Structure 1
Amino acid sequence: MQMSSKGRFLFALFLLPLLAVYVNLPAPPLTPMLLQWQDSGSFFIFEQHSIFYKDVRGYPGNGDALILLHGFPTSSYDWSKVWDVLSQRYTRVILLDFLGFGFSAKPKAHKYSIVEQADIVQSLCDYLEIVGKKVHIISHDYGVSVAQELLARYESRAEGHLNIKSICFSNGGLFPETNHPRLLQKLLKDGSLLSPILTRLSNYFLFKSGLLGYIEERWENRRRWIGVLNETRVPLHLIYGPADPVNPHPSFVQRFKSVVSESAVTVLPAHISHYPHLEDPRGFLHAYFTFVNSF
């Protein structure tokens, strides 16, 4: 039985106050695991904004550092299942929450950008005194664009560039033409009337403050960021979960192989989706170590 127009109107009048209350409720308390993650990290200041990071001291032998760049809309906690094993390979493993994410500052009315996030990574490396030392990068989702920007700076020998020795990408929008944002992302990005409600329901109030501008930024920097993948001699690899609806198989993998190389891809089992390092940490680590052992 269908609801009449009057019934729908009355239902909306009843629902809107409840939604208004829900939207303005305080955030839920952190879980013990997140509190422990926060307590094990530190903060540094970037242009008056506090940035959360973890600097894990690992294997003392090779002197190399590994930087882990998380995705959207999550945080460095995405790497919680793999970072301790990775620390057995590298002297230092560095994780951070990008500006607007996780425990880092979330300034309102701020124009967030991939370029600024790359500036933050460089500033953190300078703060930790690893600029000039060998750096390896693993990046996921939003973080792959930051890695592309850092790689472009390395290739042009821009001031303050990182000495990048390898990059591993995972399920991110390397190619805007093969990237398909989810409906939720589109609704939030377009600033629809549903945005405040969806923002609260997604438990992430900064969507409306410009974080989704990175989708357009990928198109604006497409030639530079894709071109550097083809031109660089830095070892590159892709670890890919093929059930990913954002970067669907096989078009995404085919595009990567055509730009980089046939051998630069590890496709995980068919059920692995957008978060391989969380869904299949053992497979992810095996693929990564096979990559780094190859050079």
Structure 2
Amino acid sequence: MEEFAQWRAHGRRFTHRGHQIFWRDSAFSATLPADGEAVVEPGRALLCVHGFPTASWDWHAIWAGLTAEFDRVLAPDMIGFGFSAKPRDYEYSILDQADLHERLLREQGVRRVHVLAHDYGDTVAQELLARDAERRRAGDQSLVVESVCLLNGGLFPETHRPRAVQKLLAGPLGPVLSLLATESTFQRSLAAVFGPDTQPSAAELDQFWLLWCGRHGKRNGHKLIRYMAERRRHRERWVGALVGTEVPVRLIDGLLDPVSGAHMVARYRELVPEPDVIELAKVGHYPQLEAAEETLAAFLEFHRTRVK
């Protein structure tokens, strides 16, 4: 748990719509006073966008490799997740989460950024791609997405296979289920999306639960899960952004994922022109945790060979 505690201790905060958002910054020293931060030149910047129901902690196993490759790595806990604020009276949405990431980048002076995303974060990345395309058409270079690497996620509503608990959360009993969810049921449901040979440890499951329920976060589960309906509603925009982007994109996917594994990869190959896909045959939903070295190697190879 010491590494987990250190992750939080080395975090920073910024404000989004009046709420405090936790984020990790590879250029930040925990000894630097919050009100005396020096301006850090962004250089080659990477934005890491986590998934549901976890947080930026998902990147800890590959963090050292990412920070060795990029001048700046930024990884926020989205609002409603992890160590960030989890307001009860809030309209959580993918569009707002994209606003949050863009706010962070602009405040930090990042004008060109690479993106690494997972799960729920994939949908945020698709919205960022849609906005990037709009800016490119308008000749606006105020914020440019230079590349995107996607890990397992519901890129296409028609191939997303939500878990039973996700369906219940999205239904009329969602508010009650949010409040009644227990640590054991949460952990069983999360472990079920990992591969059989790459299961999370008891300590990791404890950390996931703390991230989810801390700050009374679990009470918002039925609101956060609305992203599934958003994906259906905005399918044309978000799938269109992925299919039509000018930006280099790679998908790294754990094929044993019951939610967005081999079946999603098959759809990706059908729709995306010249698909760049790395398949991890013995991995489930969390490649960056289940196969950290393989995932990092595939990500870095993408940047060294395909990204200018």
In the superposition, the TM-score normalised over structure 1's length comes to 0.83
SS in 1 for 2:73: strand
Aligned residues: 260
Query: Which of 92, 99, 102 is matched with 1:119 structurally?
Result: 99
Choose from 264, 270, 281 the match for 1:258: 270
Residue number in structure 2 paired with 1:170: 151
Q: CA deviation at 1:259?
A: 2.1
Determine helix, strand or coil for the equivalent of 2:227: helix
Aligned to 1:16: none
The code of the aligned residue for 1:253 comes to V
Which of 105, 110, 116 lines up with 1:138 in the alignment? 116
Q: Compared with structure 1, are the counterparts of its residues 62 and 162 closer, same or farther at alpha carbon in structure 2 (3 Å cutoff)?
A: closer
**Does the C-alpha gap of structure 1 residues 163 and 244 become closer, same or farther in structure 2, counting only changes over 3 Å?**
same
Q: Which residue does the alignment assign to 2:202?
A: none
Do the aligned partners of residues 160 and 37 (structure 1) sit closer, same or farther apart at CA in structure 2, a change above 3 Å counting? farther
Corresponding residue of 2:181 = 198
Letter in 1 for 2:121: G
Change (3 A) 1:241 1:48: same
Residue 59 of structure 2 corresponds to 79
1:62, 1:40 → 2: CA distance?
Answer: 18
Unmatched tracts of structure 2, length 5 or more: 29-39, 187-208
- Bigger Cα displacement from structure 2, 251-260 vs 281-290: 251-260
One of 7, 10, 14 as aligned partner of 1:40 = 10
User: 2:282 aligned with 1:271, yes or no?
Assistant: yes
d(CA) in 1 for partners of 2:177, 2:239: 34
Tell me the amino acid that sits aligned with residue 143 of structure 1: G
The question of whether the paired residues in 1 share the 8 Å contact of 2:77 and 2:83 is answered with: yes
Q: Secondary structure at the match of 1:291?
A: helix
Could you say what secondary structure the match of 1:254 adopts? helix
Q: Which has the higher contact order (CA 8 A, sep 6+)?
A: 2
Check whether the contact 1:109–1:209 (CA below 8 A) recurs between aligned residues.
Answer: no
Stretch of structure 1 that moved more, 206-215 or 42-51: 206-215
The residue number in structure 2 matching 1:218 is 231
2:80–2:220: 8 Å Cα contact kept in structure 1? Answer: no
What is the deviation of 1:209? 4.9
Whether the 8 Å contact between 2:169 and 2:178 is mirrored in structure 1 is: yes
Aligned CA-pair RMSD? 2.2
Structure 1 alignment gaps of length 5 or more: 1-30
Question: What residue is the counterpart of 2:77 in the other structure?
Answer: 97
Whole-angstrom CA distance in 2 between matches of 1:279 and 1:136 = 23
Q: Kindly tell me: are residues 208 and 292 of structure 1, through their superposed partners in 2, closer, same or farther at Cα, counting changes over 3 Å?
A: closer
**More off after superposition, 200-209 vs 282-291:** 200-209
Q: Which has the larger radius of gyration?
A: 1
The corresponding residue for 1:229 is 242
**8 Å CA contact 2:21, 2:76 repeated in 1:** yes
What code does the residue aligned with 2:254 have? G
User: 1:258 deviation in Å?
Assistant: 2.0
Q: Distance in 2 between matches of 1:122 and 1:101?
A: 17
Give the % identical residues: 42
- The secondary structure found in structure 1 opposite 2:80 is coil
Give per-residue Cα distances to partners, 1:98-123, cap 9 Å, x unaligned.
00000100000311000000000010
SS at structure 1 position matched to 2:61: coil
Cα separation, partners in 2 of 1:195 and 1:51, compared to 1, 3 Å: closer
Conserved? CA contact 2:178–2:219, under 8 Å: no
Give per-residue Cα distances to partners, 1:43-62, cap 9 Å, x unaligned: 0111110000111039x999
2 CA distance for matches of 1:150 and 1:62?
Answer: 19
- Give the drift of 1:174: 0.5
Q: Secondary structure at the match of 2:150?
A: strand
Contact 1:54/1:96, CA 8 A, preserved across alignment: yes
